Structure formats: C-alpha cells, structure tokens
Amino acid sequence: MGDSAASSKLEENLDLLLGPALHTFSVFSCMTVSLGEDGAGLGTVRGRQTALRMLKGAGFGEVAVREAEGDILNVYYVARKGS
C-alpha cells in the first residue's frame, strides 16, 4: 500500500517538505470527498501511526514500512495476514 510519508501527529510534520501542500489537499479534497461519501474523512495525511493501526485492525499481523529512493512523497507498506 502506498501512502503519504507523514506522521499522524501534526507537530511532527512541521518540517515535512511537502507538508503544507499535503494538508491543503487533505482539507480541500481528500477529507471532504471521504466525508461526503460517509467515509472516515482521514484525508491525505492520516500518517504512519494511523496507517499501521488500521492495518493491524484489519488483521495484518506483519507490516513492513519501506521507502523508495528518490521518492520524497510516499512510504510503502508491505502487509501480510496472520501473526
């Protein structure tokens, strides 16, 4: 799963290079569209902590977080079911 390379805690994103843009996209598009369709409204910057919690809650017991060289925007979660 690909996701924004951000923290779930706003204060930990203050030095994030694309932080202001990601939070703007979140409020004006991603979060509002999700809420408009009865979704959770997590937005663009739900962050690593929330992503890991949600993957664990969905039954993925093993989750590795990977980065791709040169990709400053995303992290990638490799999740497997089971323990």
Who contacts 59 (Cβ-Cβ below 8 Å, separation ≥6)?
81
> b/e per residue, 21-47, with b = 16+ CB within 10 A?
ebbebbeeebbeeeeeeeeeebbbbbb
Q: List pLDDT tens digits, range 30-43.
A: 888 999 999 988 88
The three-point CA angle 33-4-80 to 5° equals: 100
pLDDT digits (tens), the chain, 83 positions: 999 999 999 899 888 888 888 888 888 888 889 999 999 888 888 999 999 999 999 999 999 999 999 998 999 999 999 76
Query: What local confidence, expressed as pLDDT, does residue 56 receive?
Result: 95
Please tell me the chain's helix, strand, coil percentages from 3-state DSSP, rounded to the nearest 5. Answer: 40, 20, 40
